[in-house]
Structure 1
Amino acid sequence: MSRIVVRYMHGRGLIFDAEDYLKLRYEHRIVGNLIGIPVSHPRNVNQQGMPAALTSCELKFLLDRQIIQLVDTNGALQRVPSDEEVHTYFLMVERQKSELHMPVIEKRLEAFRKHLPKIIEGKRKKLLKAGVKEEDIHLDAEQLVGEERARIMQDKFDAMVQIPLKYPLSIGELKESSLELSAEESVKYRVFQSLWHRGGFITTGDAFGCDFLLYPGDPMYFHASHMVHVMQGGMCQKLDAKYLIRVCRLSVVVNKLCILAYIDERTNEVHFETLEWQGNVDNKGDNF
């Protein structure tokens, strides 16, 4: 099975091919983060499009399972293109312009054919007025359409030149890049790995003040059900009341369950503790 190519640029793994991204999302439950502008809605700030950026945990997970190939293309993309590559790109742009030009031509010809009887009658009257005899007038509809097509082909139209998201030319031999995780990222990766094997979808939780968000299904169709906070200190990490109140109340406000994840140093296993805020009406006056 061929591995999906992920380009490592500026410290992030980026996917520019939509089919590769959908394969990761639907077959491997890896969501990533769309950071581009959607082609269909370029001015919509509420939607994102390709490319997709993968977190360090997602990259490490996919590399360990040999699903992706992490490559560094910075050097190849920054070099000066050869004359052959420039010519290939020029032909591609001209082909795109021609493809955009043809629908406009067909639309103009359709309008011309719609009024063709009136056009023929107008030309006949003009020739009669110029002194041409009725029997000498021969107007062919197809010939007029052909002349109109030739005239329209010479006209210049405004066209939007597409900038390809996926690099259209050959990059050459790909240089594989390695991924090194920090100590903090390694702990988060262990938690991510354990959560993935339990099912569901996982995304980064930066927007909700946590490390991960858990979804029962694709985030396109489901809201997150759990907020996961990774305890870097493991079982030895002390948790004060203010911290527990903060994470619990935050989960209540956004209608999610709060989970504390940590690694047990004795067994080297990942454990999860679920916290649920329970309001106590009788102790409203308690101070923490």
Structure 2
Amino acid sequence: MILIHVAEGQALVWSAEEARELRERHGLCGTPVGSLARQPRQNGRLGLPLRLLPEEATLLAERGLALLVKARGRGGAGPGPSEEEQGNGQLLERLHADQRALALEEKRALLEGLSEHIKQGRQMKRGRRRQPGAGSEAVDVSLGPSRELEDLDRNFSFTLENTLTQIHTSCPHARQLDVVNWRVPSTDWHYPGDPAHALRYCVFKDLHDKGYQLTSGGKFGGDYLIYPGDPMRFHAHFIAICVPYEEGLPLHDTVTAGRLGSNVKKTVLLCSVTKDKTVIYTSLRWRGIQ
């Protein structure tokens, strides 16, 4: 059973094995939204957790392939920090102390190296001034970073915010989970009863049953991008736009959708659902003025 963690309408899969099962066995891709531990400052390649579309999570729950869960609150633990939070705070303090000692050692070695270099430079400068014709200005070779070394321990600054911490790829503690009823709207899962979600879900389920794979189509102005197979191997062939049945679509929106599909070389599908749950598709193709 796949566990889908939900919070404020977001459906997340944290297990790499479950994410692989979703893609290979069920044809559901999701979107990686997590930072990579070794490359945290880039967004070209992302990792776990895998964020699912609400329609993907609903489809899995409806077919009994997944459970929607959320982490259980602290209950009667009181307003103070929990044991897990206290342990994390103590670990952070130990990491900060160790990393501060290493940074202080590195800073001391750097200043010692600079001190020797500056001392040699001043000695050479004093030797040149002693040559015939040179001035008699005195040079104090004792000046330099040596004074900073004496006060380094007291003045060295290494704040807690600069501490490097490890990002866990799984929860290091055993946690209690509560099952979320995906059929009833709640603060964590507010989609049931939403007409817009019901329309998109019917379209998503019908296309998925036909063998297509779908991702979010927001970047192309639609609801879904429709692929004939795995999006890693194919380009999207269609842009799906969900339109309520028997509701008019303004002409300028129709023209915009047709031109958009032509520009990105994809066919636009206007998708509607009848009262008997039949999905109707209307394709748009922009031909321009002849």
TM-score range, shorter chain: 0.5 to 0.7
Whether 1:29 and 2:27 are equivalent positions in the alignment is yes
Match for residue 267 of structure 2 among 249, 257, 266: 257
Decide whether the 8 Å contact of 1:228 with 1:259 is kept in 2: yes
Q: CA deviation at 1:82?
A: 4.1
SS in 1 for 2:44: coil
Q: In structure 2, what is the Cα distance between the partners aligned to 1:36 and 1:177?
A: 23
CA gap 1:217/1:6 in 2 versus in 1, 3 angstroms: same
Q: Pairwise mapping of residues 157-196 of structure 1 onto structure 2 (< 5 A)?
A: 161-172=165-176, 174-179=177-182, 180=185, 181=192, 182-196=194-208
Q: Deviation per CA, 1:82-116, whole angstroms, max 9, x where unpaired?
A: 48x949x97xx99xx9xxxxxxxxxxxxxxxxxxx
Deviations 1:211-234 (A, max 9, x none): 1110112112222110001012x0
**Which residue of 195, 211, 219 maps to 1:207?**
219
Q: Secondary structure at the match of 2:172?
A: coil
RMSD: 2.7
Structure 2: 5+ residue stretches without partners = 99-162, 186-191
Q: Counterparts of 1:74 and 1:231 in 2: how far apart (Å)?
A: 38
Report the identity percentage. 26
Q: Structure 1 pair 268/45, CA: closer, same or farther in 2 (3 Å)?
A: closer
Partner of 1:268: 277
User: Which residue of structure 2 lines up, in the alignment, with residue 144 of structure 1?
Assistant: none
Could you tell me whether the CA contact under 8 Å between 1:15 and 1:52 is conserved in 2? yes
Query: May I ask how many residue pairs the two structures share in their alignment?
Result: 208
| SS of residue in 1 equivalent to 2:73 | helix
Letter in 2 for 1:177: V
Q: How many Å apart are 1:74 and its aligned residue? A: 5.2
Code of the residue aligned with 2:251 in structure 1: it is A
Paired residues of 1:6 and 1:13 also in contact (CA < 8 A): yes
Letter in 1 for 2:9: G
Q: Does 1:230 align with 2:239?
A: no
Letter in structure 2 aligned against 1:183: P
| 2:72 and 2:178 in contact (8 A); partners too | no
Alignment partner, residue 42 of structure 1: 40
Residues 202 and 213, structure 1, Cα contact 8 Å, conserved in 2: yes
CA contact (8 A) 1:213 1:224 kept: yes
Distance 1:76 1:19, change over 3 A: farther
Q: Secondary structure at the match of 1:13?
A: strand
Q: How does 1:62-211 map to 2 (within 5 A)?
A: 62-73=60-71, 75=73, 80-82=81-83, 86=87, 161-172=165-176, 174-179=177-182, 180=185, 181=192, 182-211=194-223
The answer (yes or no) to whether the contact 2:14–2:50 under 8 Å persists in 1 is yes
SS of residue matched to 2:23: helix
Q: Give the Cα separation in 2 of the matches to 1:256 and 1:193.
A: 21
Deviations 1:169-228 (A, max 9, x none): 1113x2101224211101110110000001121011111110111011211222211000
For 1:254 and 1:246, how far apart are their aligned partners in 2? 12
Structure 1 or 2: more helix by fraction: 1
Structure 1 pair 76–212 and aligned structure 2 pair: CA distance change class (3 A): farther
Identify if the C-alpha distance between structure 1 residues 50 and 76 changes in structure 2 by more than 3 Å, giving closer, same or farther.
farther
Distance of 2:75 and 2:205 partners within structure 1: 33
Q: Tell me by how many angstroms 1:35 deviates.
A: 1.1
5+ residue gaps in structure 1?
98-158, 282-288
The runs of 4+ residues in structure 1 deviating greater than 6 Å are: none
* Cα displacement string for residues 42-82 of structure 1 (whole angstroms, at most 9, x for unaligned residues): 22222221111112111110000111111111515996554
SS of residue matched to 1:242: helix
Secondary structure at 2:270's aligned position in 1? strand
Q: How far apart, in 2, do the equivalents of 1:78 and 1:247 lie?
A: 54
Using a 3 Å threshold, how does the CA distance of structure 1 residues 78 and 203 change in structure 2: closer, same or farther?
Answer: farther
Per the normalisation by structure 2, the TM-score is 0.65
